[in-house]
Structure formats: C-alpha cells, structure tokens
Structure 1
C-alpha cells in the first residue's frame, strides 16, 4: 500500500484516467451523409473530398433554373456545387481556358462528359438536358483545399451526375 491506495486499485485507476484524457483529446468526427442539401450523393465519393472535422453542415440555395449547395466543415465552406438548366451550349474547355469560368489550377479535359473540364480543385460539366430544353451545367468547387483532387472530383461528378440531371428535370 502506497499513497493510501493498494497497488491493485492504483493501476486500474491510472488506466481509466489515461483513457479519459485520450478520449477528451480526440475530436469527434462527423458522419459523411448520403444526402447533401437534400440531394442523394455517394457517401464514399463525398467523403473523399471533405477534410476531417467535428461538425458538418450544408446550405442549399434554389431559384427557377439553378440549385446550389455549400458544405461546411467546422464552419468553413469546403465544398460547393451549383447546377443550372436551360443553358445554351458553349465549349466548356475554351471558356475555362479564357478565364470566363473563373480560375482553374492545372486545367484538363475530363472524360465525365464530352464537354467537361477538371482541375485540382474544380470541375465544370455540361450535359444535354432534352426534357427541360437546352443544357445542364454542374460547377463544382473545393474553395479551401490544396493539392490535386481532380481524380476524386471526377469520381464524385460521375456518381452525382444522374442525380443532378434528374433533379433539374433533364
């Protein structure tokens, strides 16, 4: 007996205290949802694009021919996509190269569609929208991300495109 407690009691007590400290130090991870702004998404594909954190939230915005979804991790926007229907056709690659679609880091053609581009943190895809007329555009952005995420972006776009087209009446 040392310090007033028998050794048999001190050891389990020390293990419990260490376990409690370790549990308090680990941030609680959010669960990647199967919906973003009430749209079905692939949990795996979305999860590959999001950083770790404790809290995930989303914010939709809807108008007649547009839909936007912003996803926040711990209060910082990490992922955004905007969809438009009823758009006239244009060459996405030419517009992106000219800067008319904003900035792209390491722009290249994407095989997601015959009229699509992808970069390290962005993608713009145009697809026909025969039911609603004209074309559908999906613009995806990872605004607060470094590094090359182009392959993960393309996987997300491939999995999401049928959902987006259907939701926009295409």
Structure 2
C-alpha cells in the first residue's frame, strides 16, 4: 500500500511539474505595435521604442477645428500622447518651455528636429511653418507614465512622424 501511495505521489508531482512548465512557456499575449496611431501613419519601429510591453494596446483620438490629439494606452494606462495644432502664432518654443508656460519638462534641451523645438526625457514640443493652413504647426508629444531618458527615441519618432502630421493638418 505504501508503494502505491508513493507511486501516486510521484506521478502527481510529475504532472504538476509538466503543467507548470507548459504554463510558463505559454506566457501572456503581447500586442502588436501598429503602423497607425489614431488613424495616422506612424513608424512601427519608432513607436515601438516608446511603448512598454503589455497585452493590450488601444488608441483614442480627439479632433477639433485646429487640433488633433492621440492617446495610446497599454493595458489601460496612458503611455503615449501627442497633440497637434495648426494656425498658431510663432513663438520661441525654448523660451516658453524654460519659463514653464508649456508645462513641465525633465532635463530640457534644444532639439535638432526643427529650428524651433525642444526635447526632454519624456516630452517634446516642435513648431514648424504651416504656410498652406496659415501660421505655424505645433506637435506636442509626451510619455506621461514612464521614467528614464527617452529623448533620443522621442526625437527619432518626431522626425519620422513630422511629415505625416504636417500633411494631416493641412500644412
């Protein structure tokens, strides 16, 4: 009787180990980085570099006459957001950012994406001419729930996205 009990315990232990191994290999499903964000073309590689891993990705657009916003959520938490404006008067983005009139920046520096642009660890604001729609175009991008320095990845995304944003805003 003791031999049967011991053999049953060994089989049960093996079954549990096998199931645990299968479960560990299965893992959670990862979302696929899209080539569009809020129906705007984006570089999958550049966007993917700015997003954390997760199981679910969704985007939420918001549109008004001269503005467009896109928020991207990973597993229910907003991780990436950008807002575009057209028809803006020209101002010195760096001076406004340093004064606090554009909100908070962490380790602000000038960006070479445009001659009127700044970038920080988690945010960028770019102003570019918008002659067709009149005045100027502004792209304000933020990674609201992240730590660390993402400024180089942000600049790569902005560089790749800027022609799409300008065209979409009628510039």
Same fold (TM over 0.5): yes
Equivalent residues, number: 164
In the alignment, which residue of structure 2 is the partner of 1:3? Answer: 7
In structure 2, distance between residues paired with 1:34 and 1:58 = 12
RMSD: 1.9
1:1-170 equivalent positions in 2, closer than 5 A: 3=7, 17-24=19-26, 26-170=27-171
SS of structure 1 residue aligned to 2:7 = coil
CA deviations over 1:69-122 (Å, ceiling 9, x no partner): 000000000000000000000000000000000000000000000000000000
In structure 1, distance between residues paired with 2:124 and 2:118 = 6
Task: Give the alignment's TM-score, normalised by structure 2.
Answer: 0.90
Task: Give the alignment's TM-score, normalised by structure 1.
Answer: 0.90
Alignment gaps of 5+ in structure 2: 1-5
Alignment gaps of 5+ in structure 1: none
Q: After TM superposition, what 4+ stretches of structure 1 lie above 6 angstroms from structure 2?
A: none
The CA deviation at 1:65 is 0.3
